[in-house]
Structure 1
Amino acid sequence: MRRRELGCRTLTMKRLVVLGATGPSGQEVVKQALSAGHHVTAVVRNPDKLDSVQNENLKVVKADIFSAEELSEHFRGQEVVLSCLGSRSSFRAPVTLYTETMKAIVAAMRETGLIRLICMTSWCTESLPGNPWFIEWILKPLVLKRTLVNMAEMEHFLFDDCQDINFTIVRPPSLGTGPFSDLPILTHEGMHVPGARWGLMNRADVAHFMLSLLDTTEWDRKAVAIQRTSRR
């Protein structure tokens, strides 16, 4: 487990394309990226949901996230893809959004020559010894099983079939809507952060961590679990 300070801004401005930009996590990524001076293309299904964000470096485009052809139109000339796509947990209906969209994203990246990808999943996408009991015995059976299964399938697709893609999978715990805390982030290459409390991590902190990956190769082609510290 590592502790990482996240107080610095990125040094090089980049051209970013953000998927899931109208969701709570995606909006945080867009706002923080613009604040840091990056050029952002937000790929959305409903552009009206980003009307409140006004910035000369923001371009909002409408596209089918399941269509590699449509995504390719907006990936050209970009440097990094950040995916904050997510679906509501379903107890009965199968969840396929993560694998289906990622296959379209990767196909579009290959078509346009993009190689850098940062995406979100969750703690404990797979059941392993040492996973928090609350997740394994309560959340998975009652709420999250189908979602986490599809997240895991997406992760396997990246590790097994995408050797040409420089991806980082960010695994946060349960997400909250509070402001950016500026607290250090605990990181661990695994399903969760050993010793860290199970609880909410603000989406603003997750977005900040995702954008910090633009300046490091530490987590290239890895899956990193994260959690905010409770104090400095």
Structure 2
Amino acid sequence: MKISVLGATGPSGQQTVLEALERGYSVVALVRNPEKLTVKDDKLQVCKVDILKEEDLVPHIKGSDAVVSCIGGRASLFGWTPCSLYTDSMKSIVGAMRKSGVNRLIAMTSWGTKATEGEPFMMKWMLRPLFIGNLLNNMGEMEDYLSKDCQDINFTVVRPPGLTNQPSTGKTVRAENGRQFLDGSATQISRRDVAKYMLDIIQETSVYNACVAVGVDKN
């Protein structure tokens, strides 16, 4: 298995790279700052690219079994800073995939990309209005772009709750198609558990062209 990982220098991207290497996969890490990725492995290739330029991505994505995007934006106080990173980067990624003949895509967003009834208190009253509203809005716009304009791409959007840097819990990751959050799930999940799930579903056709909320049981 060969995968291309975008956002590989971020905390979620690094866990995805490490998990893939543990599985014996060949990994192409597409990054803006290669020096930030300190992982060394014979099966890891680190390439400096501009993620917003599809022509930069094409030669490195070509030949991959899947593209995994762990690209993440920065939160801002009151969530006022405009964000277009998710849509801008995804349009570049999809364009590069089409040109390189790769059609399996997995991308991370978050619980709550669209406000829904019954969402967790912390998301509704604190995180959305005070910190990450701008990120959630653009994540939602990216999801809409994939759903409306990318039916030729076998995409899965993975929506996790709050992410931690704790080791994998070893718990089974629950996933439900079309949901913004999961009832009965912990409001946090380790990045490694999300990485495991994303790699597990690379060949899982039941989640093609879908946005799935993921989580682990509270107890």
Q: When the two structures are superposed, what TM-score results if normalisation uses the length of structure 1? A: 0.90
Which of 182, 189, 214 aligns to 1:226? It is: 214
Q: Does residue 1:66 correspond to 2:52, yes or no? A: yes
Where relative contact order (Cα < 8 A, 6+ residues apart) is larger, the structure is 1
One-letter amino acid matched to 1:50: L
C-alpha distance in 2 between matches for 1:215 and 1:70: 26
One-letter amino acid matched to 1:37: G
Q: What aligned pairs does 1:117-128 form with structure 2 within 5 A after superposition?
A: 117-128=105-116
Q: How many Å apart are 1:17 and its aligned residue?
A: 0.3
One-letter amino acid matched to 1:218: S
**Aligned residue in 1 for 2:62:** 76
Task: Structure 2 unaligned segments of length 5 or more: list them.
Answer: none
CA RMSD of aligned residues (A): 1.1
C-alpha distance in 2 between matches for 1:61 and 1:116: 20
**Deviation above 3 Å: which 4+ runs of structure 1?**
none
**Aligned residue in 2 for 1:185:** 173
Q: What aligned pairs does 1:1-232 form with structure 2 within 5 A after superposition?
A: 14-51=1-38, 53-90=39-76, 91-189=79-177, 190-198=179-187, 200-231=188-219
Q: How many Å apart are 1:226 and its aligned residue?
A: 0.8
Q: How many Å apart are 1:141 and its aligned residue?
A: 0.7
One-letter amino acid matched to 1:24: P
Q: When the two structures are superposed, what TM-score results if normalisation uses the length of structure 2? A: 0.95
Q: How many Å apart are 1:195 and its aligned residue?
A: 2.5
Task: Structure 1 unaligned segments of length 5 or more: list them.
Answer: 1-13
Per-residue CA deviation, residues 16-35 of structure 1 (Å, 9 max, x unaligned), is 00000010000000011011
C-alpha distance in 2 between matches for 1:106 and 1:155: 13
- Count residues with an aligned counterpart: 216
